[in-house]
Amino acid sequence: MAKVIGSVDFENEVKDGVVVVDFFAQWCAPCKMLAPIFQELGAELEEKANFIKVDVDQSPDIASKYSITNIPAMLIFKDGEKVDSMVGFSPKEIIKEKVEQYI
């Protein structure tokens, strides 16, 4: 299961390697559709990338910092720098292809 992190841990979690961050909310239907896909990819790519989640209602400061206005939104970080983003629901293959560009 992908770890849900908050403001305190965020910078530390994204500072090394490839990290995929799923910005979500409990009330968001497309976020719930994306959740099992995100979990599957996290398991498939666990040796190559870290998959974490940020609840925008619990950590609005992080969402604001990265201009997250629509969810679900995924950001890809490499060694602490944001390198890519995806907004809205995407099929597993599309997400995997995008993540693998940075591994």
- If one compares 102 and 1, the residue with the highest pLDDT of the two is 102
Could you check whether the bond before residue 91 is cis, i.e. omega within 30 degrees of 0? no
- pTM of the full predicted structure? 0.95
The helix/strand/coil state of 55 is: strand
Residue 80: predicted pLDDT = 95
The answer to whether the beta carbons of residues 8 and 89 sit under 8 Å apart is no
For 6-43, write each residue's pLDDT tens digit. 989 999 999 999 999 999 999 999 999 999 999 999 99
Residue 1: predicted pLDDT = 64
For 44-102, write each residue's pLDDT tens digit. 999 999 999 999 999 999 999 999 999 999 999 999 999 999 999 999 999 999 999 99
Domain architecture of the chain: domains with CATH: 3-100 (3.40.30.10)
Q: Which residues are known catalytic residues?
A: 28, 31
The answer to whether the beta carbons of residues 6 and 56 sit under 8 Å apart is no
Pairing of strands 73-78, 18-24: antiparallel
